């Protein structure tokens, strides 16, 4: 547990070293933050049903954050239904749009624990009988975990991008991310410190990185996101 003097802020117990001497294993606090993120995202998905709005789903996420003991969030909760699922960006807050009988819900959550660690998780859910959407989500999730299995400590970010982008194209997906990336670095108290997982970033990947392919096949948008710890000797999906 982190110690905190009165009048000071929480500081994570994560002695971050962005290089080959990074810790072998992810810090326990980061594991806790990501476990919280996954539970909160699942709570949001569980609240979805035809007629439920994005704003109502966001409130379910807020309730789950409180129940999990979160200290706050480091950027907004993104909730997208239908056409709104085609944009996942912190300038697009949840709206009164309601879920249809055939729809896709996307949720991106960003909890902060009371010890100061940050989580980041995106999950999608197909609402109702929508076979094309079910297939698209299944295919995206499968290629995502195939690509994550190829992660290795210190690999360049643009190499991981290339692996993922090739698989997306092979499966008929078009990348939707507004900044043309599939993720970003995550450090104590900061995202994006080492920029994005994109075609132009050759930064070696050490420590925590969020990998989040966001793509469309036809008019169906889907996304999945997990944190990967690029440790000294191996990589681990948190």
Quote the pLDDT of residue 6.
72
| Predicted local distance difference test score (pLDDT) of residue 2 | 45
Output the pTM of the full model. Answer: 0.93
CB neighbours of residue 4 within 10 Å: 13
List the one residue out of 138, 124, 114, 113 whose CA is nearest residue 78.
124
H helices of the chain, in order, are: 28-46, 54-67, 131-148, 157-170
Q: Reduced to 3 states, what is the DSSP secondary structure of residue 5?
A: coil
Tokens of 117: 């660690």
Per-residue pLDDT, 8: 65
Strand partners, 210: 184, 227
Q: 74 exposed, middle or buried (CB, 10 Å; 0-12, 13-18, 19+)? A: middle
What's the maximum distance between 2 C-alpha atoms anywhere in the chain? 55
Q: What pLDDT is attached to residue 188?
A: 80
**Gap between the Cα atoms of 37 and 44, Å rounded:** 11
What pLDDT was estimated at residue 12?
A: 59
d(CA 210, CA 26): 13
State the pLDDT at residue 190.
86
Residue 161 neighbours by CB under 8 Å, 6+ apart: 181, 182, 197, 198, 199, 201
Reported as half-sphere exposure (CB side, CA atoms, 13 A), residue 24 has a value of 1
Domains of the chain, start order: 28-237 (3.90.230.10)
CA angle, 185 then 109 then 32, to 5°: 75
In a structure prediction context, what are the per-residue pLDDT tens digits for the chain, which is 238 residues long? Answer: 445 567 766 555 666 778 999 999 999 999 999 999 999 999 999 999 999 999 999 999 999 999 999 999 999 999 999 999 999 998 999 999 999 999 999 999 999 999 889 999 999 999 999 999 999 999 999 999 999 999 999 999 999 999 999 999 999 999 999 999 999 999 888 899 999 999 999 999 999 999 999 999 999 999 999 999 999 999 999 9
Say how far apart CA 151 and CA 2 lie, in whole Å.
30
pLDDT for 185 equals: 97
């Amino acid at each position: 547990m982190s110690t905190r003097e009165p009048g000071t802020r929480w500081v994570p117990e994560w002695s971050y070293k962005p290089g080959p001497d990074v810790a072998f294993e992810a810090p326990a606090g980061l594991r806790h933050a990501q476990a919280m993120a996954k539970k909160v995202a699942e709570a949001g998905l569980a609240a979805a049903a035809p007629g439920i709005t994005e704003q109502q789903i966001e409130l379910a996420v807020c309730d789950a954050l409180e129940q999990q003991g979160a200290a706050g969030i480091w950027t907004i909760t993104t909730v997208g239904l239908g056409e709104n699922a085609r944009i996942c960006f912190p300038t697009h807050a949840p709206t009164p749009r309601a879920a249809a009988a055939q729809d896709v819900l996307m949720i991106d959550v960003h909890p902060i624990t009371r010890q100061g660690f940050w989580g980041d998780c995106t999950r999608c859910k197909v609402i109702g009988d929508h076979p094309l959407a079910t297939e698209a989500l299944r295919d995206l999730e499968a290629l995502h975990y195939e690509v994550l299995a190829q992660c290795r400590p210190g690999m360049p970010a643009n190499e991981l991008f290339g692996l993922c982008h090739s698989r997306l194209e092979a499966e008929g997906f078009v990348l939707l991310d507004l900044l043309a990336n599939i993720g970003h670095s995550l450090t104590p108290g900061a995202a994006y410190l080492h920029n994005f997982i994109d075609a132009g970033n050759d930064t070696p990947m050490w420590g925590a990185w969020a990998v989040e392919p966001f793509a469309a096949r036809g008019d169906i948008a889907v996304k999945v996101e997990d944190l990967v710890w690029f440790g000294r000797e191996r990589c681990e999906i948190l």
